[in-house]
């Protein structure tokens, strides 16, 4: 008999899948604001289900595979279809090819992640993803639509912006650019209260100014990509020097 602690994370994941797929329905009804919100909620659920599974010791191979398949739908297919219905359909076959490229890149990125998770052998590397993770790729793809829905909207050429950002999201997901995973961050008890306050403040802005907050979040993430790349190179260099020192000591 399966213990409930193994079922609960999968139920949460399925809930996220239902929310993510619903974004396509909203897009078909031209409710693009609801579509973006649905994908955002799906990404929050995606963060929660893994954390909850580890917290209640309910991780399983089935849950990991299920989570990966759901990520492909929620962050590969759903956002690409949403942007296609919003503006890329005007490009005809070219627009659809851009959608396919994003979906294929997301699929390849998830397959590489599943394989890479089994072969990582250096602890410090756990703080980085290789390439942009699929939820972040979806966020980058949606940035022109989020801009359109925000208070910063203007007479931009959203069609060109959408082409640029879907190409960027496609490239970043399949690239080997190191990006922060934020998994290895350790918070002291003294700092915990400030972190909780910060999270509460962020969600307060997200509830009251959803698209403005998502837009700022998206561009801050893009700003962090070159920083994470430089940080990765510095840590890798230090790790290599430390390993060389250990090898030298072994021969002394």
pTM: 0.89
**Is the pLDDT at 118 greater than 70, yes or no?**
no
Residue 34 φ then ψ, to 5°: -65, -35
CA distance 142 to 127: 25
**Cβ atoms of 39 and 74 closer than 8 Å:** yes
pLDDT in tens, 186-227: 777 777 888 889 999 999 999 999 999 999 999 999 999 999
> Encoding tokens for residue 54?
């580890």
> Please, what is the average pLDDT of the chain?
88
184 — pLDDT class (breaks 50, 70, 90): low
**Cβ atoms of 85 and 157 closer than 8 Å:** no
The arithmetic mean of pLDDT across residues 242-250, rounded, is 54
Domains of the chain are 4-250 (1.20.120.1760)
């Amino acid at each position: 008999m399966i213990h409930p602690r193994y079922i609960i994370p999968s139920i949460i994941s399925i809930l996220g899948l239902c929310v993510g797929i619903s974004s396509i329905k909203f897009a078909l009804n031209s409710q693009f604001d609801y579509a973006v919100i649905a994908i955002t909620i799906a990404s929050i659920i995606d963060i929660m289900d893994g954390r909850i599974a580890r917290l209640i010791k309910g991780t399983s191979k089935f849950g990991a595979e299920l989570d990966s398949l759901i990520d492909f739908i929620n962050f590969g297919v759903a956002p690409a279809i949403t942007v296609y219905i919003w503006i890329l359909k005007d490009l005809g076959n070219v627009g659809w090819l851009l959608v396919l490229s994003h979906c294929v890149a997301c699929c390849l990125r998830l397959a590489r992640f599943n394989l890479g998770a089994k072969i990582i052998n250096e602890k410090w590397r756990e703080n980085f993803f290789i390439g942009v993770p699929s939820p972040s790729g979806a966020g980058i793809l949606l940035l022109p639509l989020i801009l359109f829905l925000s208070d910063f909207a203007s007479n931009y050429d959203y069609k060109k912006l959408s082409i640029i950002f879907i190409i960027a999201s496609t490239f970043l997901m399949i690239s080997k650019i190191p990006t922060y995973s934020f998994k290895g961050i350790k918070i002291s008890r003294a700092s915990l209260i400030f972190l909780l306050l910060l999270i509460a403040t962020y969600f307060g802005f997200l509830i009251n100014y959803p698209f403005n907050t998502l837009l700022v979040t998206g561009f801050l993430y893009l700003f962090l990509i070159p920083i994470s790349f430089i940080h990765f190179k510095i840590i890798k260099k230090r790790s290599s020097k430390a390993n060389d020192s250990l090898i030298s000591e072994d021969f002394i």
